[in-house]
Amino acid sequence: MHDQIHGSDPKPKSDPCPESDPRLVALPRLEAMPRPESMPRPDQGTRKSESSRKPSPRLLAICAGKVNPYHHLKSAMIKSVIGSIESPTQVALGRLGLLGDEQAEVGLHGGIDQAIYMYPVEHWAFWQQQRALLGINEAMAFGFVGENLSIEGLLEDDVSAGDRLSIGDVLLQVTGPRIPCIKFNWRMGYAKASKHMIQSGRCGWYCSVLQTGVLVPGASIHLLPGRKLLNIADQLRLQQKHIDRQLELFK
């Protein structure tokens, strides 16, 4: 098990236009463009209202799904609850994910590094509000955004790639944020859902399985920090160019 993220840090670039150069002329400051009320701000929610009332981290529900046609593609995003805090069924977890769960388009989603997708239920209120503005009143529920593990008490600002999460006898390692594609827009019912996920940082995160075992809803989640180079929300925003290309691919 390795907690570190490998790779060298980029060397800082020298400033081609130092401030001491007398030939430079100061430019006027540009005012920020107004943001529509329905557009989430990157600093909204996860760092303020949601994080201020966090309970102790725990597993609330376990969800799995089969690959089925979804619009003109295939997807396993539609999940069913196979264990919840109200009905705490034990579910086996292997190296590639939960027993009974499937992954579509493994080249883009799934595999060992994306065996498990975790999502905080603290984000439900945000998505309900965004969708209500468009007249979509369908209620959120466990597994709604395609997550395997619905959790509470941990947000994207709290975890980084390389962190480990201990849940009972299971040990997971955070590998990175979810990169939303066109399927997420379909699931949420509006075209800017992926953009809202990126801007707000409410993306959830993928995990690999370091130690297999049995998961039970209600179990506590213990965070074992890694190097903490970059939290999940900020990592997602740095990957935005790749995300934009992927959205174009699936149109």
- Chain segment 89-107, per-residue pLDDT in tens: 999 999 999 999 998 877 6
In this structure, is residue 231 part of a structural domain? Answer: yes
In this structure, is residue 34 part of a structural domain? Answer: no
For tokens 């993928």, what's the residue? 206
In this structure, is residue 2 part of a structural domain? Answer: no
Which CATH number fits the domain that encloses residue 196? 2.40.33.20
In this structure, is residue 237 part of a structural domain? Answer: yes
Residue 3's pLDDT is 42
The domain of 217 spans 51-249
Q: How many domains does the chain have?
A: 1
pTM of the prediction? 0.77
Interior/surface letters 206-231, b for 16+ CB within 10 angstroms, e for the rest = bbbbeeeeebbbebebebeebeeeeb
In this structure, is residue 64 part of a structural domain? Answer: yes
In this structure, is residue 126 part of a structural domain? Answer: yes
In this structure, is residue 168 part of a structural domain? Answer: yes
Give the residues of the chain that fall short of pLDDT 70.
1-52, 107-109, 241-251
In this structure, is residue 35 part of a structural domain? Answer: no
Residue 121's pLDDT is 98
Residue 52's pLDDT is 62
Do 155 and 171 meet the contact criterion of CB atoms below 8 Å apart? no
